[in-house]
Chains A and B, each alone.
Chain A
Amino acid sequence: MNRPLFQIFFLSLSWFNLINGQTCNLSLEGTITDLHDRSPIIGALVKLEGTNYFSQTDFDGNYQLEGLCPGKYQIIILHPECPTVKKRINIQTSQVNNFDLEHHINELEEIILSEKRISKLRKSVQEVSLDIGDINSYGSNTMVEALSYISGASVLKTGNGIAKPAIHGMYGSRVGIVTDDFRQHDQEWGPDHAPNIDFNSFETIQLIKGAAALKYGGDTSGGLIILSSSRKQLKDSLYGNSNLILESNGKGGKITSMLEKTYSNGFFVNGQFTAKRFGDFHAPRYLLSNTGLREADFSIKLGKDKIVSGWKFGYSSYAVETGILKGAHIGNVEDLFYALNSDEPRVIEDFSYQIGAPKQQGKHQKISFSYFNLFKNQSKFEWGYNFQVNDRKEFDVRRGGRTEIPAIDLVLKTHNIIGSLSGINIENWTFELGINGLLQDNFSDPNTGIKRLIPDYLKYEAGAYVLGNFQKSNFFIWEWGMRLDQIVIDAKKYYDLSVWSERNYSVVFSDFEMQKTGSQILTNPKLFFLNFSAQTGISSKIGDRFKINASYVLSQRAPNASELFSDGLHHSIAAIEYGSLSLQKEISHKLLFSISKEKGSIIWSFEPFISKVYDYIYIEPTRLEQTIRGAFPVWEYNATDVFLTGIDFTSSLSINREFKFDLGASYTYAQDLQNKNPLILIPPLNSYQKLKYTPREGKWDFEIVHHLNARQKRFPNSNFQVNLIQEGQLVSETVDISTPPPGFQRLDLYFSYNLKNKSSLKSQIRIIAQNLTNSEYRDYLNRMRFYSADLGRNLQVQLNFKY
């Protein structure tokens, strides 16, 4: 007989012995429901520890305790199919307390284990979760835009629809993305490369500041974004949801739909698709020609989850085509100068759904298989294999009918295999060990007729990690982790002979030389990096309401292919970019703190961080290079030491049952210590405030959101001179690509109306107005600011059905 059942048996007997000899007259009542499906839990025993007061829930899950004295109690809830819940409770007046229990103890153990993987690991670091439903309801078109609602996260953009995440001012290879347990591998190095992911095929997005999830790698000093699917229910059911979104800006919309069938034997199958189509978007005063967007994605997931063992198979396909603002296509620095000094884009055409050059095409396919097995001692063995193919094409306006030929054509194939053993409990300690292996193959198609920006390369990675956490009570956790990665990059790259000798590579890297062909030399750089990363942190509750976290993260990152090998002209910013073979690994130390108040009508958190990065890889303008299109600034990758610090603040005030007010702000300071310059592309001070009104009957709600971005006053000066002929004279002008635009404010409105249907699932109609006042602004983190203002007013209508 297991323990809870025994206790029920025992306590049932003692029912008749209950003596109520006190003069106290307070009552405690409430409902106990299943955390997952909100169904009442029948027959649960509710007991006040150390007393004879107890009650058993009825068919509606209700319990009632009467004749209580004022005082502090420990409430215990017991049910044979649920884990025992203990909560401290202070009874001064008669009150209602509802509790949620995790039904199905077997299923629960699995949840606990699978959550150890993510949430337990990160108890001592800052983590924010978003529900995919929330993302849609905020009217975001990309996963990354949705993250901008999180304090401390920001968005780097290249026009509309091309957005990449930044955390604490770090982006690109310094922010990792994990989808269903595997790292995403696409061409994440460029600022104009958005992650090729359809967020609609997942249920939650977690953002982790700092590289605390060593399971997924130790190289992301900015943080991690984790997308995951929900746990499947162990019952026969069929459900799904559909979202239809229509938008005025871009005259387009999106449809996404998901259907899932689960069986009581643990088998599940899930299918999902998303389709998007937009024409040219518009800024407040003008149309942004050639900024249309087309996307089509689908995914299939199936598997069997039998609690003690299970397997999962998934396939997903993502395809996107994004137009780049026509006025942003420039040939040289003179064009850039004129574009910067023009109030509006230099090409404005009539509205169209056509996407012409310049444009980007991205295709990403993923196949994964994973298996887990639970042992009697509660430890869990998992392994998985994942294969990803990323096909990226960029098209420029070209001569001689070559516009149809991509200017950049890269195919990146990644094999990834992971294995782990988790949930190893030794007294108050829990351990997890794991390994992973990765093989990556990049192919750069020579048929573009343009010098490769990124060469062909193979990359091998082997990693191993161990994580431990110590938890003696619910009030204190100490955790740590260590990880070792060996990375080998084996590239084959043509260098111009002149560059090869000018940069002294012919001496330092002579063993990479293979053969000379004409003015070029084929080389085979083989680079080895051994990276050690570690993390440790504590989390402690102070009383009932406050919580503090402190953690230290050491991360090491090998330079990426772009930092090592970049070689060529970057049209959109009129820059020639050169990588550097001499780069070393980047070593980041980061300290994160947080103090938060988690209960009461006002909740808040302060999250400061400080970080020092050695050999921080950055790109800087070094000189001018003469080309057939005039002199271009040359940007070269280099390393320096940087110092970053900042603070994220969030708060929420429940004014009464109808009104809720949220306020958040975030500031990051970043300084290049060697050159004594601020770092580029660091988000300025920004804040949001939200006021939400929900009437008592809860049929609808209304929310108003105000964003305020200050001007970034700390920026490096990367300006350069251009010689122009004006009124018959040669004059020298400054091309100001550095000065950030003024600060801006934005107002958004959200209205949702709940539609009831038979099954009591919530279907909704939403009406959203973004940039309500149609204010014209330019965002420092959006590179299109050189050419045009940001988007104007957008009205959205969303229909969301659940069934």
Chain B
Amino acid sequence: MKNIQNLFKIKIMVLAISLVYSCSKDDPDAVNQQEYISNVVLKVQSSDGSSQTVDWDISEQNTQSINLKANSDYKVEVSFLNNSDPSDIDDVTLEVIEEADQHQVFYEFASVSVDVTSASDDVKDGSRGVLIKSIWNASASGAGTVRVYLIHQPTNYSGTTREDIGGFNDVSIDIPITITD
């Protein structure tokens, strides 16, 4: 009989604990995704002053195309935005600039040939340009793709292919590119 009483006591304790807890769990706060990047914006300025803006948006994944003329210089400025809260758009580019020593913007082209160099007002880490601002010059007409990378902690900044540079990708998106004569 005593055993049964003891078992009963335990049941009461379990019930008591569950009651205390079931009343005390609050609704969780929504997470403010801090590092998230939702948009990659490329501002392409030709030497004659005309400009074109391509905004790659994660939710739309639009395929706006970059249009360049062969053998002319374009200044391309890249920015990374977090607009998961449209009322408070966060410019992640500033973080990249602040940590220039750990980041590298890199462009790779498929089916077209474009020469990319650091612009004179580019963000620099020592003598290395981060390529936030770069000069593009396409050698021949064609249609292809540019892959825009933001590389974190590269192991070899002088690498010429994505594989050589090492590190890991914070951004890797494809934008169509058309080059006319």
| Residues in A329-388 with C-beta less than 8 Å from chain B | 329-332, 334-335, 338, 346-347, 381, 383
Return chain A residues, CB-CB under 8 Å to B168.
329-332, 335, 397
Q: How far is the CB of A358 from chain B (nearest CB, A)?
A: 11
Contacts of A335 in B (CB 8 A): 168-169
Q: Once the chains bind, are A399 and B99 in contact (CB under 8 Å)?
A: yes
B3, CB-defined interface residue at 8 Å:
yes
* Neighbour of A451 across the interface among B11, B31, B153, CB < 8 A: B31
Interface residue A230 (Cβ < 8 Å from any Cβ of B): no
Nearest CB in chain B to that of A421: its residue: B3
Pick from B6, B27, B96, B170: contact of A522, CB below 8 A.
B27
**Interface stretch of the complex, out of B14-22, B45-53, B64-72, B115-123:** B14-22
In the complex, the chain B residue whose C-beta lies closest to that of A730 is: B110
Q: Provide the A264-305 mask, 1 if CB < 8 A to any CB of B, else 0.
A: 000000000000000000000000000000000000000000
Specify which of A399, A444, A460, A520 is in contact with B92 (CB 8 Å cutoff). A399
Inside 8 A of B174's CB, which chain A residues have their CB?
723
Give chain B interface residues in 142-181, CB to chain A under 8 Å: 144-145, 147, 152-153, 155, 161-163, 166-174
Interface residues in B1-55 by Cβ distance below 8 A to A read 3, 6-7, 10-11, 13-14, 17-18, 21-22, 25, 27-38, 40
Contact status of A415 and B17, CB under 8 A, knowing A400-B35, A450-B35: yes
Task: Specify which chain A residues have a CB less than 8 angstroms from the CB of B167 in the assembled complex.
Answer: 331
| Pairwise interchain contact A458-B7, C-beta atoms closer than 8 A | no
A519 at the interface (CB under 8 A from B): yes
State whether the Cβ of B84 lies closer than 8 Å to any Cβ in chain A.
Answer: yes
**Residues A448 and B31 in contact in the complex (CB < 8 Å), given A629-B169, A630-B173, A730-B111:** yes
Q: Is B141 an interface residue (CB 8 A)?
A: no
Q: Tell whether, in the assembled complex, residue A338 and residue B30 are in contact, meaning their CB atoms are under 8 Å apart.
A: no
Residues of B within 8 A of A401 (CB): 99
Query: Beta-carbon contacts of A473-498 to B below 8 Å, as 1s and 0s?
Result: 00000000000000000101110000
Q: Is the CB of B110 within 8 A of A439?
A: no
Nearest residue in B to A520 (C-beta to C-beta)?
A: B30
Complexed CA–CA distance, A452 and B29 (Å): 11
Q: What is the CA–CA distance of A449 and B92 in the complex, to the nearest angstrom?
A: 14
A347 CA / B17 CA spacing, docked (Å): 50
A458 to B13, CA, bound (A): 17
- Residue numbers in B under 8 Å from A492 (CB-CB): 25, 27-28
Q: Is the CB of A451 within 8 A of B33?
A: yes
B99 CB contacts on chain A under 8 angstroms = 399-401
Report chain B residues within 8 Å CB of A415: 17
Assess A449 versus B110: contact at CB under 8 Å? Given A331-B170, A629-B171: no
Which residues of A lie under 8 Å from residue B84 when comparing CB positions? 519
A399 lies within 8 A of B96 (CB): yes
Q: Does A455 contact B (CB under 8 A)?
A: yes
Q: In the bound complex, do residue B32 and residue A397 qualify as a contact, i.e. CB atoms below 8 Å apart?
A: no
Tell me whether B10 and A334 are in contact (CB under 8 A).
Answer: no
> Which residues of chain B come closer than 8 Å to A458, judged between CB atoms?
21-22, 25
Chain B residues with CB under 8 Å of A437's CB are 10-11, 13-14, 17-18
**Which of chain A's residues have a CB closer than 8 A to the CB of B113?**
728
Could you count the A-B residue pairs with CB atoms below 8 Å apart for me: how many are there?
A: 156
- Shortest B152–chain A CB gap in Å is 7
Q: Does B125 contact A (CB under 8 A)?
A: no
Q: Is the CB of A399 within 8 A of B35?
A: yes
What 0/1 readout, one digit per residue, does chain A (394-432) give for beta carbons within 8 Å of chain B? 000111111000000000000101010100000000000
Residue A619 is within 8 A (CB to CB) of chain B in the complex = no
CA distance A723 to B111 in the complex (A): 13
Closest to B163 in A: A338
Q: A383-B10, A449-B33, A725-B162 are in contact. Are A628 and B109 (CB under 8 A)?
A: no
Tell whether, in the assembled complex, residue A725 and residue B10 are in contact, meaning their CB atoms are under 8 Å apart: no
In the bound assembly, the distance between CA atoms of A415 and B171 in angstroms comes to 44
Assess the A725–B110 pair: CB atoms within 8 A.
yes
How long is the Cα–Cα vector from A439 to B19 in the complex, in angstroms? 10
Q: B58 contacts the other chain (Cβ, under 8 Å)?
A: yes
In the complex where A346-B155, A398-B35, A419-B10 touch, is A446 in contact with B172 (Cβ < 8 A)?
A: no
A683–B172 Cα distance when bound, in Å, is 36
Query: What distance in Å separates the Cβ of A496 from its nearest Cβ neighbour in chain B?
Result: 10
In the complex, A730→B111 CA distance in Å? Answer: 7
Q: In the assembled complex, how far is the CB of residue A376 from the closest CB belonging to chain B, in whole angstroms?
A: 12
* B56 (CB) vs chain A CBs: closest residue: A628
With CB as the reference atom, state the residue of chain A lying closest to B34: A449
The closest CB in chain A to the CB of B144 belongs to: A730
Query: A514 within 8 Å of B by Cβ?
Result: yes
Q: Does B108 contact A (CB under 8 A)?
A: yes
- Taking CB atoms, residues of chain B closer than 8 Å to A381 are 3, 6
**Contact string, A628-639, partner B, CB cutoff 8 A, digits 1/0?**
111000000000
- Looking at B28, B98, B147, the one whose CB has the most chain A CB atoms below 10 A away is B28
Please give the distance in Å from B54's CB to the nearest CB on chain A.
15
Interface string of A447-473 (1 = CB under 8 A from B): 011111001101010100000000000
Q: How far is the CA of A402 from the CA of B167 in the complex (A)?
A: 18
CB distance from A409 to the nearest CB of B (A): 11
Which among B3, B7, B30 is the interface contact of A446 at CB below 8 angstroms?
B30
In whole angstroms, how far apart are the Cα atoms of A728 and B108 in the complex?
Answer: 8
Q: How far is the CA of A724 from the CA of B162 in the complex (A)?
A: 9
B173 contacts A402, C-beta separation under 8 Å: no
Q: How far is the CB of B128 from chain A (nearest CB, A)?
A: 18
Q: Does A435 interact with chain B (Cβ within 8 Å)?
A: yes
A517 at interface (Cβ–Cβ under 8 A)?
yes
Bound Cα distance A725, B99 (Å): 27
Instruction: Decide yes or no: A446 and B11 within 8 Å by CB, A331-B168, A397-B153, A399-B96 being known contacts.
Output: no
Minimum CB–CB distance from A571 to chain B (whole Å) comes to: 9
- Residues of the B chain whose Cβ atoms lie less than 8 Å from the Cβ of A450: 31, 33-35
B30 contacts which of A383, A517, A730 (Cβ < 8 Å)? Answer: A517
The answer to whether A441 has its CB under 8 Å from any CB of chain B is yes
Q: How many Å from the CB of A396 to the closest CB on chain B? A: 9
Which chain A residue has the least Cβ–Cβ distance from B25? A458
**Of the residues A347, A446, A723, A730, contact of B31 by C-beta under 8 Å:** A446
B153 & A334 in contact (Cβ 8 Å cutoff): no
- Which residue of chain A has its CB nearest to the CB of B2? A381
Q: Are A449 and B32 in contact, CB atoms less than 8 angstroms apart?
A: yes
**B110–A729 touching, CB < 8 Å:** yes
Shortest CB-to-CB span from A326 to chain B, Å, is 9
Chain B contacts of A629 at CB under 8 A?
Answer: 169-172
Apart from A456-B25, A460-B18, A728-B111, what 8 extra A-B contacts exist at CB < 8 Å?
A338-B163, A400-B99, A417-B13, A419-B7, A435-B7, A458-B22, A492-B25, A519-B84
Nearest first, the 6 closest Cβ-Cβ pairs linking A and B are: A437-B14, A449-B34, A331-B168, A331-B169, A400-B95, A730-B110
Residues of A within 8 A of B (CB): 329-332, 334-335, 338, 346-347, 381, 383, 397-402, 415, 417, 419, 421, 435, 437, 439, 441, 444, 446, 448-452, 455-456, 458, 460, 462, 490, 492-494, 514, 517-520, 522, 626-630, 723-726, 728-730
Q: 9 pairs across A/B with beta carbons < 8 Å?
A: A329-B168, A399-B99, A400-B92, A402-B35, A446-B30, A450-B35, A519-B84, A728-B109, A728-B112
